[in-house]
Structure 1
Amino acid sequence: MTSQPPFISDEQRRARLGGRHLLDPARRVDTVEQVADGVVVLHASDPATVYLSAGARLTDPSAAEVERALYEDVTLVKLLSMRRTLFAVTEELAPYVSSGAARAIAVKERAALVKHLGQFAEGWDEPRLARTEQRVLAALAARGEATTAELSELVPALRDTMLMAAGKPYEARQSVGSRLLRLLASDGHVRRCRPRGSWLSTSYPWALVDPWPEVPVREAKAELVRRYLAAYGPATVEDVKWWTGWTLGDTRTALADLDARPVRLAGPDGGEAGGASALVLPGDEDEVALPASWAALLPALDPTMMGWRGRDWYLRPQDVPLLFDRAGNPGPTLWWNGRVVGGWAQRADGELVWRLLADLGAQRAEAEAAIAAQAGRLAAWLGEVRVTPRFRTPLERELTK
């Protein structure tokens, strides 16, 4: 008789989440590189997310620690990659992200840009785009770093505009420069430098980067999934496919290359019956120790919140309309022992406010005290900084009224 795959309960999944994602205070780390490795990638679509996600996991949180890695040591780089999303990844992982995800995105971005230029920007074709790219790279080589606006003074073609969302109520014109620089970043030619202004600013210069080591695509994909399962496993095939943004075929190939092992997840009632099949790395089937109780305030688009497609084991479906915007972007969330239990926001005067959505029963007082302590910790290192998420959600808006 064939034995069933090991069973991993929701409680065990939450225990793994707390420890491996460095949210249990006993597992916090000293550097932002360690944070990024712990969760594989840090979401960077909103500039604040990298800082707040790191701060929640650092022993001594500060914006300076994140800036050191991003702009001084350049051991953390931003890449448009999985799911066409901007991520901050360690310098060591960047070649794998580039080969396994970013370059394919860049190919699609280039094709889309060429098509759009041909339709909505007069005098543009693929050869002209290539010539303009070379001029931009030459300008950066001579200047060192420059914003898109500054490069437009040196390469006037970047000032040309094209119509976006033609015929829609929100149609607008976008500069060729803004799209072209993003494309060059996806191709691994340029990187974002320290922003002009505060660490929340989206006005930043660009600089050239040295080429990363070449990694075969299949090897890169396997390494990305290995790191994902190490941090997020157990995960379903659908979770892996969603997180990477790959085809089902590429996802299954990477899992097979790792010899990922099947496990059973909890069913709708939390028991062993009726649960989905999932995968872990070889040797990761055993139970882990349960951490002490912990609380966390995580920012919009935090990698833990965005780690799985199937979220019912840590997020109540009835809370989704309050905690997500219409495009599916999560806002700031409260966590208690591996579950999302509410949301938080920062008001204009700097006060951090929060609301519990879940009924915590006998644990309520303990949870409220722990959440208040974490709110105080966050407020202390933010100081005079005011953070408004780029993607605002119903609860976050309500809390800031």
Structure 2
Amino acid sequence: MRSMDVAERRARVGVRHRLALAERTDDVRAIARSLVVLHATDPATVFLSVAARGRSLEPGHVEKALYEDRTLLRMLAMRRTMFVAPIELVPALQASCADALAHKQRKTYGRYLENAEGVGGDVSAWLSEVEAETHQALLTRGTATGAQLSKLVPRLRTQVDTAPGKSYSKPTSITTWVLVILGAEGRIVRGRPNGSWSSSQYTWAPIESWLPNGIPSLTAEQARAELVRKWLYAFGPAPESDIKWWTGWTLGEVRKTLARLDTAEVDLGGETGLILADDLDPVPAPDPWVALLPALDPTPMGWQSRDWYLGEHGPALFDRNGNVGPTIWCDGRIVGGWAQRTDGEIVWRLLEDIGSEAESHVAAEAARLTTWYGEVRPIPRFRTPLERELTA
């Protein structure tokens, strides 16, 4: 069994994740492909993840890729998490993750609708009618917010009490439910938000505005194999448990998918990792590099087993639910954290000694981030201990 030590894994991170200076690019789509998908739970993460891997990119370049060129698309996928994906990967994400999510959400919301006033009869058929009306309204209008759609489709204003008889009961309309189902089914997509690039007040558009013929169909098995193949190239070698965690699939689904791929086992220093069988050649270590990655960046969130790049810094940089805050990286390992203060200043703290030259590069990256942010002041969705300390 071939051995791959921590140094080799860190070299792969620098090269494959475009964090080493020589690997950075101004091709937004290429950056997204390098990471399989970009985390998008926090809208700012998408832009800041691209910024860290670009050369002279600005927020407008990311907006152009998303909303004008439409080479990227925002969608729910693994672990019911929001991602921005290269358009060619959308069919695999749809068949491997989103279809199952749509089915689950439809069942959940359908149970609540059974007792809603004005629904009655065949709840599934009623919900399908409302979805079809909403999709048609978007096809006619082009784009719309949820509030605008609820005026065009009156049944979206149907009120549902999800906690009848409880003190915290608060009836709500089904607008968001229907939009979530349609989005998960791949019939509508989140378009340009109202506000800055860090806003989450999205407009909605029909999928036909991105893909005129809709999302091409794949079998779940084909889709899972394609997704895991791309993940192994970007994040491998890694143990089977990391694949299970990242995809959110059952262990059985992961193992059936791996059986469709030509993989090899490698020794990760007492733990067995998997890698594509044609990807065993060493990746030359890049020149020394540093990077400032945002909260929920795909690199630190790419593995469940994190000791080899995180060390003992987890308590300062992750919240209690496993969400990572802004991190400083040096040659493939996390060495500190950073934050943006309300006046726009980028402040940072190293948690280990990296030498004066690397520290000067951290300062340069912080200055570059200051320019990228401009007047935008997004607050991370998930606050972590060090980020809170730096902004106190």
For the superposition of Structure 1 and Structure 2, which TM-score range results when normalised by the shorter chain? over 0.9
In 2, distance between residues paired with 1:24 and 1:167?
57
Equivalent runs, 1:16-35 vs 2, <5 Å? 16-35=12-31
- Compared with structure 1, are the counterparts of its residues 166 and 344 closer, same or farther at alpha carbon in structure 2 (3 Å cutoff)? farther
Q: Which of 307, 317, 335 is residue 323 of structure 1 equivalent to?
A: 317
Structure 1 counterpart of 2:53: 57
Q: Which AA in structure 2 matches 1:278? A: G
Q: Which of 285, 306, 310 is residue 280 of structure 2 equivalent to?
A: 285
In 2, distance between residues paired with 1:7 and 1:295?
26
- How far residue 162 of structure 1 moved from its aligned partner, in angstroms, is 3.5
In 2, distance between residues paired with 1:369 and 1:133?
54
1:367 equivalent to 2:358? Answer: yes
- Compared with structure 1, are the counterparts of its residues 61 and 249 closer, same or farther at alpha carbon in structure 2 (3 Å cutoff)? same
Question: Larger deviation: 211-220 or 187-196?
Answer: 211-220
Q: Which AA in structure 2 matches 1:135? A: E
Structure 1 counterpart of 2:96: 100
Question: Larger deviation: 185-194 or 206-215?
Answer: 206-215
Structure 2 counterpart of 1:206: 204
Q: Which AA in structure 2 matches 1:198? A: S
3-state DSSP of counterpart to 1:225: helix
Structure 1 counterpart of 2:125: 127
- How far residue 346 of structure 1 moved from its aligned partner, in angstroms, is 0.3
In 2, distance between residues paired with 1:284 and 1:171?
55
Structure 1 counterpart of 2:151: 153
Structure 1 counterpart of 2:211: none
In 2, distance between residues paired with 1:346 and 1:162?
40
Q: Which AA in structure 2 matches 1:386? A: R
In 2, distance between residues paired with 1:28 and 1:167?
56
3-state DSSP of counterpart to 2:273: strand
In 2, distance between residues paired with 1:215 and 1:76?
19
In 2, distance between residues paired with 1:165 and 1:367?
55
Structure 2 counterpart of 1:48: 44
Equivalent runs, 1:299-310 vs 2, <5 Å? 299-310=294-305
1:247 equivalent to 2:250? Answer: yes
- How far residue 26 of structure 1 moved from its aligned partner, in angstroms, is 0.6
Structure 2 counterpart of 1:136: 134
- How far residue 173 of structure 1 moved from its aligned partner, in angstroms, is 4.9
- Compared with structure 1, are the counterparts of its residues 59 and 128 closer, same or farther at alpha carbon in structure 2 (3 Å cutoff)? same
Contact 2:117 2:159 survives alignment (8 Å): no
- How far residue 71 of structure 1 moved from its aligned partner, in angstroms, is 0.5
Query: Residue deviations 1:78-102, cap 9 Å, x none?
Result: 1111111111101111111111111
CA RMSD of aligned residues (A): 1.7
Structure 2 counterpart of 1:68: 64
- Compared with structure 1, are the counterparts of its residues 322 and 167 closer, same or farther at alpha carbon in structure 2 (3 Å cutoff)? farther
3-state DSSP of counterpart to 1:334: strand
Structure 2 counterpart of 1:378: 369
1:395 equivalent to 2:383? Answer: no
TM value normalised by structure 2: 0.94
3-state DSSP of counterpart to 1:200: coil
3-state DSSP of counterpart to 1:192: strand
3-state DSSP of counterpart to 1:384: coil
In 2, distance between residues paired with 1:385 and 1:241?
36
Query: Residue deviations 1:58-112, cap 9 Å, x none?
Result: 1222111110111001110011111111111011111111111111111111111
Q: Percent identity?
A: 51
Query: Residue deviations 1:14-37, cap 9 Å, x none?
Result: 000011000001101121110110
Contact 2:99 2:185 survives alignment (8 Å): yes
- Compared with structure 1, are the counterparts of its residues 236 and 164 closer, same or farther at alpha carbon in structure 2 (3 Å cutoff)? farther
3-state DSSP of counterpart to 2:309: coil
- Compared with structure 1, are the counterparts of its residues 22 and 158 closer, same or farther at alpha carbon in structure 2 (3 Å cutoff)? same
Structure 1 counterpart of 2:241: 238
Query: Residue deviations 1:100-157, cap 9 Å, x none?
Result: 11111111111111123336x4444222211111110121121111100000111122
Structure 1 counterpart of 2:328: 334
- Compared with structure 1, are the counterparts of its residues 224 and 169 closer, same or farther at alpha carbon in structure 2 (3 Å cutoff)? farther
3-state DSSP of counterpart to 2:310: coil
3-state DSSP of counterpart to 2:336: strand
In 1, distance between residues paired with 2:366 and 2:159?
44
- How far residue 219 of structure 1 moved from its aligned partner, in angstroms, is 1.1
In 1, distance between residues paired with 2:171 and 2:329?
41
In 1, distance between residues paired with 2:292 and 2:40?
17
In 2, distance between residues paired with 1:27 and 1:166?
56
Structure 1 counterpart of 2:306: 311
In 1, distance between residues paired with 2:8 and 2:226?
24
Structure 1 counterpart of 2:113: 117
1:354 equivalent to 2:348? Answer: yes
- Which segments of 5 or more consecutive residues in structure 2 lack a partner in the other structure? 209-213
Q: Which AA in structure 2 matches 1:12? A: E
1:7 equivalent to 2:3? Answer: yes
4+ aligned runs moved over 4 Å, structure 1: 163-174
